[in-house]
Amino acid sequence: GGDSHPLIYMPLTLTGFAVIQNGTTGAVIDSYQVDVNVTANATGNATVGIAAQVSLNASDFSVPAINSSNSDADEGIKYLNITNTTSLENVTMIRIVFYYADFELSGLDEKTISFYYWDSNTSTWLNAMKYVGKNLTPSGPTVYDAGRNTAENYVYIVVDHFSIYGLGASVYGGGGSVYGGGGHVAPQIVPRTGIVRITRPMYVGLVRQFNYFDRRFYNAPQPLWGTLASIGAYWAPVEQAEDLNPITHPHDIEDLLGDVYRIASQAVLEEKPGGAGTVIISRGDLGVDSIAATAYAEVHHMPILLVEPASIPAETADALQRLGARSTVIIGGHEAVSEELVPQLPNATRIWGADRYWTAVRLAEELTKEVHVDTVVVTDGLDPEGTAVMVASYYDAPIVYVKGDEVPEPTRQFLQTHSFKKVILVEVSDTAAEEIKSII
């Protein structure tokens, strides 16, 4: 499924029939619009017939279109009515893949596209990505997994029965002002291009813009922020919990307080049950290096574990072993992570500079060599802002540092050398912001 295709006429009807051997998974529908794979239980074969209809119009299925009044999306893209024409005896799970073409996005932000379920009891479209491991409704499907693959243009859901579904997404926006523009550029906080200044009070608006309603947010100390981002979770300002919790429910802000080495190890092991081939190692007494590694970690799918500058805590050593790590990437110089630790780490390499400012730039340079980077995030290296981590994670953007009112030489060189579509300044002073504006 998922081959590129011209504009098609809707509605489209697809049917499939298959006998799935016990304990295996097989395809019942395989098309450029929808794939359906069924898993049979271990005790018996599953004889499965499926009928699926795809339409651009929700009214074809007697339901309203996805919009901001009945969902957490701004707009619906297309809809799927999928039913079984045989019993579902011996069926344990059903994986539905819904493909989309670039032209179907029509100005919507691809990173917000989600699989939605129509709840007729509440007349609401529910975002399935918020319900992984739960029932969508008391009598509705159980969601075993859900996600998106923007590289291959599909969204998927793994459930236990069929229903009416839809694809929805949000427009690129959320409210805010562009630095130097003297006014608002509604409806977006981070625009498509330009220099933008962000402050902590904008945090909830950014969660809305990024459609991060399905993410987990924690009240955690700074050294954990990079680790959290590397596994798809984020620090959040507790003073905004009252506004944030309702939109991320049932994932309210939780406290992650205590030993950062133990917490980081536990969080990574829980999120990576299948292990990790390469792990990033960063100092745990300060957060500046792991924060700077946010985008590098995400792009390479590497979790971040923490060590003391001169020793490896037992929890970290245990996590490395249980993850089955075959290699490690140390962030920071010898004062951040001692050279004496290198023999204790599997196949260790190091990305570092003379100080936190150079180390951040070295990470940024490595990232720009390996992937296309059109956005950079700048925050204060004396006290990095947690909002910068969430923004950098969303855009796969490197984080570089200013030093109070000063723009350090490595940061200056990096900004002068590269041309970015977006330069996002997070809690940067007026003086430093003006200097950055003159640099770029």
Q: What is the DSSP string of 196-262?
A: EEE-GGGHHHHHHHTT-TTSEEEE--GGGHHHHHHTTEEE--GGGHHHHHHHHTTS--EE--S-HHH
Poorest-pLDDT segment among 194-198, 258-262, 363-367: 194-198
In whole angstroms, give the CA distance from residue 79 to residue 77: 7
**pLDDT on residue 377:** 98
Residue 252 CB partners (closer than 8 Å, separation 6+)? 241, 245
Cα Rg of the chain (Å, integer): 23
Residue 330 tokens, joined: 């140390």
- pLDDT tens-digit readout, 18-29: 999 999 999 999
**pLDDT on residue 3:** 43
In whole angstroms, give the CA distance from residue 268 to residue 31: 36
- pLDDT tens-digit readout, 307-362: 999 999 999 999 999 999 999 999 999 999 999 999 999 999 999 999 999 999 99
Kindly report the pTM of this predicted structure: 0.64
Q: Please check the confidence at residue 180 and state whether its pLDDT lies above 60.
A: no
Q: Which residue has the higher pLDDT, 47 or 6?
A: 47
Q: Please check the confidence at residue 178 and state whether its pLDDT lies above 80.
A: no
Domain boundary assignment for the chain: 12-169, 194-439
What angle do helix axes 260-271 and 314-323 make, rounded to 10 degrees?
Answer: 10
Between CA 389 and CA 398, with CA 394 as vertex, the angle to 5 degrees is: 60
In whole angstroms, give the CA distance from residue 255 to residue 145: 25
pLDDT-derived band of residue 256, with 50, 70 and 90 as boundaries?
A: very high
**pLDDT on residue 182:** 33
- pLDDT tens-digit readout, 56-87: 999 999 999 999 889 888 899 999 999 999 99
pLDDT-derived band of residue 1, with 50, 70 and 90 as boundaries?
A: low
Q: Please check the confidence at residue 387 and state whether its pLDDT lies above 90.
A: yes
Q: Please check the confidence at residue 306 and state whether its pLDDT lies above 70.
A: yes
**pLDDT on residue 401:** 99
Residue 24 tokens, joined: 């295996």
pLDDT-derived band of residue 126, with 50, 70 and 90 as boundaries?
A: very high
Q: Which helix (H) or strand (E) holds 426?
A: strand 422-426
CB-CB contact of 114 with 73 (8 Å) = yes
Q: Please check the confidence at residue 7 and state whether its pLDDT lies above 50.
A: no
| C-alpha 238 chain-centroid distance | 21
Arithmetic mean of pLDDT, 140-154? 89
In whole angstroms, give the CA distance from residue 334 to residue 64: 60
Q: Please check the confidence at residue 139 and state whether its pLDDT lies above 50.
A: yes
pLDDT-derived band of residue 10, with 50, 70 and 90 as boundaries?
A: low
> 208-222, 230-244, 375-389 — which one is most confidently predicted on average?
375-389
In whole angstroms, give the CA distance from residue 217 to residue 255: 9
Arithmetic mean of pLDDT, 102-116? 87
Residue 429 tokens, joined: 């002073």
**pLDDT on residue 179:** 38
For the chain, give the percent of residues with pLDDT over 90.
Answer: 72
Q: Please check the confidence at residue 4 and state whether its pLDDT lies above 50.
A: no
- pLDDT tens-digit readout, 199-233: 999 998 898 888 787 789 999 999 999 999 999 99
CB-CB contact of 58 with 166 (8 Å) = yes
Between CA 248 and CA 303, with CA 97 as vertex, the angle to 5 degrees is: 55
In whole angstroms, give the CA distance from residue 283 to residue 330: 9
pLDDT-derived band of residue 14, with 50, 70 and 90 as boundaries?
A: very high
